[in-house]
Structures are given as structure tokens and as C-alpha cells.
Amino acid sequence: MDRKMTILKILMICFLFGFLFYLNAKDNTADKSVSEIAEQLEKGKNVNTLVKGDANSLKRYYNLNANDYDGFALWTSENPMDVDEMIVIKAKSDEQVDDLEDSIETRIKTQKQNFEGYGAEQTALLEDSIVDIKGKYVFFAVSQNASSWETIFLKSIKR
Amino acid sequence: MIFSSIYFIFIFLPIVLLLYFLVPPIFKNTVLFISSIFFYAWGEPIYIVLMLFSIAFNFMMGVDIDNHREDKHYQKLNLIFTIIVDLFVLGFFKYYGFLLDTVNQLLHTNISYKQLALPIGISFYTFQTLSYVIDVYWGKVKAQRNIINFGLYVSMFPQLIAGPIVKYIDIEKQLKNRKITIVTIGQGMEYFIKGLAKKVLLANNIGALATEISSLSASNTSSLTAVLGVVAYSMQIYFDFSGYSDMAIGLGKMFGFTFMKNFDYPYVSKSITEFWRRWHISLGSWFREYVYIPLGGNRVGTKKHIRNIFIVWFATGLWHGASWNFVLWGLFFGVLLLFEKYFFLEKLQNLPSIVAHIYTLVCVNISWIFFQNTSLGQVGHVFKMLFGMGNGFVDIRTLYYIKTNFLLFLLCFLCCSPFLYRIFKKITVKNQYIGLIINIGLFIISAAYLVYDTYNPFLYFRF
């Protein structure tokens, strides 16, 4: 009886680890185009106060070439004293995801340097910025509303 | 699926109630268990596997521990094993990312991980299974030998997702035998409607104000506006959570179960000690019984007592969220409770009630600043605005918010005390038809709000 119980316990633990491994390996994101995701994000609070960026803006702010990726959507502040910003970019491969993360880190660093010493509010927002990677999608937002924008992003890519 | 939704109120609940009352008593638990699994799977089709694992695993371990009463060593080993597995599952989904983020920050490493979605209700049902297996070990209860009954205890949809945390010992007899009468169904419906109104009419509306104020920049926020935002949030979280608890208790009653009260008008408290006897009672009770007392409680020396308080409040904070602001929130209360216990609780009780009330409300509202803001930067931001470093002490926006939300605030303040409910009870004792009209009226207005505002999740779902 005890031997049976021991085997049962081992089987249950194996099942648990198998399930956790499966969850980690599985891709939970739907294959949506960035324009579909952008359409949802545009409904986010105060996104209409931002300016939609183009390939030149992507190059200027992130040193990225739009053609290297499977779509992007970028919003920045019109006012140079504001740091509100949001970007969603879809990588073509997993290797590109790491590079995108590095570009975003560099962008955050640059912005912090720009406002260091006189922009306490802007620096605080940059400290609290959100970077989220889901599959091949990379999301970055700086704003008081960053959290709500992230929620929209996560919902829009859910399978 | 959430309680405050058209689908739940008009489709799921009536079907489950109908099936439940049609089947013979021997099948009622099975119907309720299957309904609960369906309820959970509706929102979490993958994580239902995790819950079923938790049910099967804890059922098996409970039986195993109970079968070895003569072998204390075996029992202890298996209890430890069960606790480790249960906490591992909770930790994996809730704290893994937090732990790695902290390690990365402290050691300047860049260990990456995949952030999995948090299974809804995992903190609640894990604490329930832990309380069960510990009570079996202590000999307080015998292990449940019917897996359907045990599965029902863990997964019962009224309390699965956001509590109250039900201890097995409180529900053991009710699983086998419970009385369902027209009176209990009526009481259940009244509780449910009260909770629904709290959530939909009060929490959602005051929450909209709290959200609006929290998204203002510092340059647009005066001190008084910041105060309004903090108070609005404290109203929102109370009515949201207590509303859900009331709905859970009401639903339980409809099925013949009596769950313990989870909130007892906490904002009328005259000390933090009293506040925590009235706020989230089931969680406080759980930590007292399974952490504080086993550590020695207050029956040890002063140093150990202080240690015990800090452990409990560190854990309470962490239970609420995988973020340092929640830990600070918990420790903030730990410090206040220690100060009250060792320095001024007696003095507080001798002060005029109004002073004690103000002290308690100020401390509680300050605590919500830590609770609401996930980063310390944001917490600092709010405190700056409170102290006038935003847009001065008062501005035109403050007056606008007070003018447009005055009645809502007044209603919220009145509903924070038992005043209105006592009047309602007095009226219904004299004339039950007036009570019926009020309940129907509240239900219709709440349902109308639900039709208009279809997305209104509960704040405590994230735990």
C-alpha cells in the first residue's frame, strides 16, 4: 500500500513538472499583424494625444530599420518635454527579440540622460516604464497610462 | 466569468440553481462540483488542469496522512512534502518572476524568464488546501474520503476566485448535510444583491474617479485632489472586495452553505488592531491559525513576538502581490500593530472616538497608497502631491471633483458604516414587502449598470 502511494506521489510530481514544462514551452500568442494590435492600442487612454511615428522615427529613436521587422507601431509625444511613448514591434525571429530589447534599453538610458537633473517627473516615468515580450512581440511604454496600454496589448495578442 | 456580469446572473446561475434543486440530494455535490469546474474553465481553460491537480494531490495526501496516525514521523514528512508542493506551485506562478527580477537588480545580472499568466484564484485555493492538510495532520478533522466532496470544497465557485478563504473544518459537516429552505435562499439572494450593488453602483463609480485622478500628472494635481484620489481608491477597494465577498456568501447560502463573514465594516475601526479584525477576516484568521500561533504568537518573549509579527505581515503583504510595494504595505501594518500593542493601544481606547477613528482612517488610507502603486517611484510621486509639491493645495479641478462626486462620496461614507443597513433591517422587520421592493430595485439598477458597462473585473482577482 505504501509502495503504491509512493509511486502515485512520484507520478503526480512528474505530471506537475510535465505540465509546467508544457506551459513554458507553449506559445500563447496569436499570430496577429502589428496593424491589428495598433488598432486596439489606439483606443487606449490618451493615446490620441501622441503622434504616430514612421520608419524615420523608428530609425531616429531606436536605431532600427523598419524593413528588418515584421511590422511596428510607434507613438511619441509631440511636446519635447514629455516622455510619453509606446512601441509595438514584431520580430521576424527569436534572435531579433534580444536585439530589440537592447534597443529599448538604450532608448530608456538616452531619455534618462536627457532629463537628468531637471525632469524629476519624466525620470520617474522612465523608471516605471514597461517592457513586455510575448513570443515575437516586443512592447514598450512610458506613461502614467503605461499599465493600461500594456493590458490592451496583452489582450490583443491572446490566443 | 465574474459574478457581476449579465451572463453569470441571467444564464449560468439560473441553470445551476435549477439543476441543483432538481437532482436528488445525493447528486447535489456532484452538480455543484461540475458547475464549479465549468465556471473556472470558462475563464482559465488551461489552468483548470492545475486546479484538478491540486484537488487530486491534496486529496491523496490528506488520506495518506490520516491513514498513518500511529506514525508521527511519516505524517510530518508527508505534511512537509505537501506544503512544499503546494507552495512551490503558488510560488512558481506568482513569485518566480519577482524573485528573478530582484536577483537581477541586486546582482546586476540579466537572467531571463517567461512570464506565465497568474491562474485566477490560486492564492485562495492554495491556502484552502493547505489549511485542510494541516488540520488533518493536527487531527482537527478526519480526511475527506470522497473526492467529489473534497473537490467541491476546493473549487466551489462562490468562493473559489476571491474568497472568503474557507477552512475545511468550517464546512465539513455542510458538505455531507445542509439545510436549504426558502428562507436561506431568500437570505442568499439578499446578500447577493447587496454585494452586487456595492460592486456595480459604488465600487465601479468611485473607482472611475480614483483611476482618473491617478492618471493625472503631478503638475495637474493639487494636494486636495490627491487626497480625493486616495480616499476614492480606499472606497473602491472596500466596496469591490466586500461586495464580492457578500456575493460569494449569498451564493453559498443559496446552495445551503454558510460561509464566515469576510468584512465587518472595517472603516468604523478605532485602531489598526480593530481594523484587522474587520478587514479580510478569513485571511487574517488563516495567518493567525497557521503561521502566527504555531510560531508562538504572543506567548513568547518580546523579541520573538516582534519577529512573529514581522513574519506574518511580510507574508500577508507578499500574499497580496509579487511586488515590494505589497511587502511594504504589509510591514507598514506590522509596525503599526506593534506600536499599538506595546505603546498606545490603551491610550487610544481612552481618547475620544473621533480621534481614534481619524487616526485609523489616516493610517489605512496611507497604506492604500502603497497598495495601489506598484513601484516605489509612483508611491513617492503620490506623497509629493499630497504634500503640495504638485499643483498647490487646492485647484479648480479639486472643486470640480467635489462638486460632481459629492453625492457619491456621501453615499459611500454612509455605506461604510452599518447605519443604512440597520435602517433597512428595521424597515423590513416591520414590512417585508418594502424590503422586497428595495432589493428588487437595487437589483434592477445594478443590472442596468451591467448592461451599460460590460467589463468590470474585481481588483482582488489579481491575487
Is B215 within 8 Å of A8 when comparing Cβ atoms? no
Is A8 within 8 Å of B60 when comparing Cβ atoms? yes
Q: What are phi and psi of B389, to 5 degrees?
A: -90, 15
Q: Is A75 helix (H, G, I), strand (E, B) or coil?
A: strand
Q: What are phi and psi of A81, to 5 degrees?
A: -85, -10
- A24 touches B at CB < 8 Å: yes
Identity of the residue numbered A116: E
- Contact call for residues B228 and B401 (beta carbons, < 8 A): yes
Band (pLDDT 50/70/90 cuts) for residue B462 is low
Is B53 within 8 Å of A121 when comparing Cβ atoms? no
- Which has the closest alpha carbon to B20: B11, B33, B1, B10? B33
For B301-332, what is each residue's pLDDT tens digit? 999 999 999 999 999 999 998 888 899 999 99
What distance in Å separates the CA atoms of residue A48 and residue A54, rounded to the nearest whole number?
Answer: 16
What distance in Å separates the CA atoms of residue B382 and residue B105, rounded to the nearest whole number?
Answer: 24
- A127 touches B at CB < 8 Å: yes
Instruction: Cite the active site residues of B.
Output: 320
Q: Is A6 helix (H, G, I), strand (E, B) or coil?
A: helix
Q: Is A74 helix (H, G, I), strand (E, B) or coil?
A: strand
Report CA B365 to chain centroid distance, whole Å. 17
- B53 touches A at CB < 8 Å: yes
- Contact call for residues B184 and B256 (beta carbons, < 8 A): yes
Shortest distance, CA A150 to any CA of chain B (angstroms): 14
For B420-442, what is each residue's pLDDT tens digit? 888 888 888 888 888 899 999 99
Write the CA distances from A76 to A12, A54, A60, integer angstroms.
Answer: 51, 10, 12
To test the contact with chain A by mutation, choose from B48, B378, B389, B456 the residue with the greatest count of A C-beta atoms within 10 A, namely B378
* Max CA separation in chain A (angstroms): 73
Nearest Cβ partner of B49 from A19, A45, A124?
A19
Nearest Cβ partner of A124 from B50, B219, B377?
B377
What distance in Å separates the CA atoms of residue B102 and residue B87, rounded to the nearest whole number?
Answer: 19
Cell of B24: 436528488
In which region does residue B222 sit, left (phi positive, over 0), alpha (psi from -120 to 50) or beta (all else)?
beta
For B118-163, what is each residue's pLDDT tens digit? 788 899 999 999 999 999 999 999 999 999 999 999 999 998 887 7
Give me the pLDDT at residue B458, please.
62
Give me the pLDDT at residue B305, please.
94
- Contact call for residues B246 and B276 (beta carbons, < 8 A): no
Is B114 within 8 Å of A24 when comparing Cβ atoms? yes
Terminal alpha carbon distance of chain A = 44
Residues of B in contact with A147 (CB under 8 A): 374
- Contact call for residues B64 and A5 (beta carbons, < 8 A): yes
Give me the pLDDT at residue B96, please.
82
Interface of B with A in 373-402 (CB under 8 A): 374-375, 377-378, 380-381
Q: Which residues contact B231 (CB under 8 A, 6 or more apart)?
A: B365, B409
* pTM of the model as a whole: 0.82
Cell of B126: 492554495
Cis peptide bond N-terminal to A80, omega within 30 = no
Cell of A76: 511619441
Q: What are phi and psi of A72, to 5 degrees?
A: -150, 160
DSSP conformation class of B288? I
For B223-272, what is each residue's pLDDT tens digit? 999 999 999 999 999 999 999 999 999 999 999 999 999 999 999 999 99
- Contact call for residues B253 and B187 (beta carbons, < 8 A): yes
Is A19 within 8 Å of B53 when comparing Cβ atoms? yes
SS3 content of chain B, % helix, strand, coil (to 5): 75, 0, 25
Q: Which residues pair with A133 in a beta bridge?
A: A138
* Max CA separation in chain B (angstroms): 73
Is A144 within 8 Å of B216 when comparing Cβ atoms? yes
- B135 touches A at CB < 8 Å: no
Is A16 within 8 Å of B85 when comparing Cβ atoms? yes
Give me the pLDDT at residue B112, please.
66
Write the CA distances from A117 to A112, A122, B381, B387, integer angstroms.
Answer: 9, 10, 17, 21
- A159 touches B at CB < 8 Å: no
Q: Taking CA atoms, what residue in B is nearest to A11?
A: B57
Q: Which residues pair with A134 in a beta bridge?
A: A137
Write the CA distances from B418 to A128, B274, B435, B459, integer angstroms.
Answer: 40, 16, 16, 23
- Map out the domains of chain A as residue ranges: 30-157
- A12 touches B at CB < 8 Å: yes
Q: Taking CA atoms, what residue in B is nearest to A121?
A: B218
What distance in Å separates the CA atoms of residue B199 and residue B196, rounded to the nearest whole number?
Answer: 5
DSSP conformation class of B163? -
- As for the ipTM of the complex, it is 0.84
Residues of B in contact with A28 (CB under 8 A): 117
Band (pLDDT 50/70/90 cuts) for residue B461 is low
- Which has the closest alpha carbon to B364: B340, B405, B325, B329? B329
What distance in Å separates the CA atoms of residue B280 and residue B270, rounded to the nearest whole number?
Answer: 17
Count how many Cα atoms sit within 13 Å of the Cα of residue B31 in the half-sphere of its side chain: 17
Write the CA distances from B54 to A22, B88, B130, B248, B419, integer angstroms.
Answer: 17, 12, 10, 22, 42
Q: Residue A29: pLDDT above 70?
A: no
To test the contact with chain B by mutation, choose from A43, A121, A150 the residue with the greatest count of B C-beta atoms within 10 A, namely A121
What distance in Å separates the CA atoms of residue B442 and residue B420, rounded to the nearest whole number?
Answer: 14
Band (pLDDT 50/70/90 cuts) for residue B105 is confident
Band (pLDDT 50/70/90 cuts) for residue B457 is low
Shortest distance, CA A10 to any CA of chain B (angstroms): 11
Give me the pLDDT at residue A154, please.
87
- B217 touches A at CB < 8 Å: yes
What integer best gives the mean pLDDT of chain B? 90
Q: Is the dihedral of CA B234, A41, B454, B402 positive or negative?
A: positive
